[in-house]
A and B are shown apart, each in its own frame.
Chain A
Amino acid sequence: DSGVTQTPKHLITATGQRVTLRCSPRSGDLSVYWYQQSLDQGLQFLIQYYNGEERAKGNILERFSAQQFPDLHSELNLSSLELGDSALYFCASSPRSEGTGSATDTQYFGPGTRLTVL
Chain B
Amino acid sequence: AQTVTQSQPEMSVQEAETVTLSCTYDTSESDYYLFWYKQPPSRQMILVIRQEAYKQQNATENRFSVNFQKAAKSFSLKISDSQLGDAAMYFCAYRSVGSQGNLIFGKGTKLSVKP
Q: Which residues of A contact B (CB under 8 A)?
A: 2, 31, 33, 35, 42-45, 48, 55-56, 58, 88, 90, 92, 94, 96-101, 103, 105-109, 111-112, 114
Contact = CB atoms under 8 A, between A and B. Distances in A.
Nearest to B6: A42
Interface string B94-115: 0111111111111110000000
A58 B100 CA distance: 10
Contacts of A88: 43
Interface string B32-56: 1101010000111111001010100
B25 interface: no
B45 A109 contact: yes
Nearest to B107: A42
A14 to B, nearest CB: 23
10 closest A-B pairs by beta carbon, nearest first, are A109-B45, A43-B105, A45-B102, A56-B100, A98-B101, A99-B97, A98-B98, A42-B107, A99-B95, A99-B101
Contact of B97 (A35, A42, A44, A101): A101
B90 interface: no
B102 A105 contact: no
B68 interface: no
Interface string B52-72: 101000000000000000000
8 contacts: A48-B102, A98-B100, A99-B33, A99-B98, A100-B98, A101-B54, A105-B33, A105-B101
A23 to B, nearest CB: 13
Given A33-B103, A96-B101, A98-B98, 10 more contacts: A31-B101, A33-B101, A43-B103, A56-B100, A88-B43, A98-B101, A105-B101, A108-B47, A109-B37, A111-B44
Question: Which residue, of B45, B46, B107, has the highest number of chain A Cβ atoms within 10 A?
Answer: B45
A19 to B, nearest CB: 18
